[in-house]
Amino acid sequence: MTPCPSVPSRHGVGKAEDTSRTSPFHLDLWFYFTLQNWVLDFGRPIAMIILPLEWFPLNKPSAGDYFHMAYNVITPFLLLKLMERSPRTLPRSMVHVSIITFVMGASIHLVGDSVNHRLIFSGYQHHLSVRDNPIIRNLKPETLVRLRWVKVL
C-alpha cells in the first residue's frame, strides 16, 4: 500500500525534496518565536533598568529572572509545536531528550545569569580575582571562604 502523494508522510517515508517543496512556512510560529524573543530577551534588561531594585530584594527573583523563567516555560511548547508540524519527525524519545536538554541548558543559563547579577548588585567586582575582591574578604564567618590552598592527601 503506497501513501497518497498529496498528503505529506508523518514518518518521512516520502522523498525529502517532495516534502520541502510542499511544506508551508508557519507564520504563526515564526511570529510567536519572534515576539517571545523580543519581549523576553530584549525586554529583560529594559525591565531591570525601569523597575526599581527595591521591588526585588536579593533573596527574591528579579525582573530578569521572571523573564528567564517565562522563556524556559514557553519555548519548549513552541519547539514541540514546531516539531509536530514538521513533515519529517524524529522518534518521540529523541524529541523528549532534545526538549529536556534545551530546558536544562536554559535553566543553567538562568541560574548563572541570576548569580552574576546578584554578585554585581552585592558589590562584587569582576575585574578582581576572588582572593582580592572586597566582598569575599569581608565575608562572615571567615570559615566560609578559605583564601589559601588546602592540600588534600
What does the alpha-carbon distance between residue 78 and residue 30 come to, in Å, rounded to a whole number? 10
Q: Which of 89, 93, 95 is nearest to 9 (CA)?
A: 89
| pLDDT for the residue 81 | 87
Calculate Rg over the CA atoms of the chain: 24
Question: What pLDDT score does 51 carry?
Answer: 87
Altogether, the residues listed in the chain come to a count of 153
Residue 100 has pLDDT above 50, yes or no: yes
Residue with more model confidence, 108 or 58: 108
Binning pLDDT at 50, 70 and 90, where does residue 15 land? very low
CA angle 44, 63, 119 (to 5 degrees): 95
Quote the crossing angle between the two packed helices 63-84 and 27-36, to the nearest 10°: 160
Percentage of the chain beyond pLDDT 90 is 3
C-alpha cell at 119: 554578585
Query: How much is the mean pLDDT over the chain?
Result: 77
- Give 139-150 pLDDT, tens digit per residue: 776 665 555 554
pLDDT at position 129 is: 83
Q: Is the model more confident about 111 or about 9?
A: 111
Output the DSSP codes for 29-80.
Answer: HHHHHHHHIIIIIIHHHHHHHHS-GGGS-TTS--HHHHHHHHHHHHHHHHHH
Residue with the larger pLDDT of the pair 58 and 54: 54
14 has pLDDT over 50: no
SS3 annotation, 67-97: HHHHHHHHHHHHHHHHHHCCCECCCHHHHHH
In this model, does residue 7 exceed pLDDT 50?
Answer: no
Predicted confidence (pLDDT) at residue 119 exceeds the cutoff of 70: yes
